[in-house]
């Protein structure tokens, strides 16, 4: 596994319940601030095998990003976040000033 993928997995696993990170934020923490699409690839291919809290990753506007034909997955993501205490604004986004997680800096412990 390459270092970016490993750090991406670590960053996602570090997010506690009730908080979120953006795709770009995870990419930056993993060492490639332009690697948001790679984060999507990791989520798609490794969420199950690494037990990743995939639902805690959102877009830079505080919204849930799902393809048009995946509305059910978006609804599930929202349900999971709400069950952790995350509140959505009337426009369907999350207030990143309240719920964004900054606890992972990508450094080895």
**Residue 8 CB neighbours (<10 A):** 29
pTM listed for this prediction? 0.90
Tens digit of pLDDT at every position of the chain (109 positions): 899 999 999 999 999 999 999 999 999 999 999 999 999 999 999 999 999 999 999 999 999 987 666 677 788 999 999 999 999 999 999 999 999 999 877 655 4
Strands (E), the chain: 21-22, 57-58
CB 3 within 8 A of CB 84: no
Say yes or no: domain 3-99 is CATH 1.25.40.10: no
Which phi and psi (to 5°) does residue 99 adopt?
Answer: -105, -5
Token pair listed for 79: 């349900």
């Amino acid at each position: 596994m390459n270092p970016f993928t490993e750090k991406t997995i670590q960053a996602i696993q570090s997010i506690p319940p009730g908080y979120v990170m953006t795709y770009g934020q995870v990419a930056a923490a993993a060492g490639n601030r332009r690697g948001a699409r790679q984060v999507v690839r990791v989520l798609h291919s490794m969420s199950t095998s690494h037990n990743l809290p995939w639902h805690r990753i959102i877009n830079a506007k505080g919204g849930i990003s799902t393809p048009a034909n995946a509305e059910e997955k978006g609804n599930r993501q929202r349900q999971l976040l709400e069950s952790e205490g995350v509140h959505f604004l009337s426009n369907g986004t999350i207030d990143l000033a309240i719920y964004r997680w900054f606890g992972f800096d990508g450094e080895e412990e």
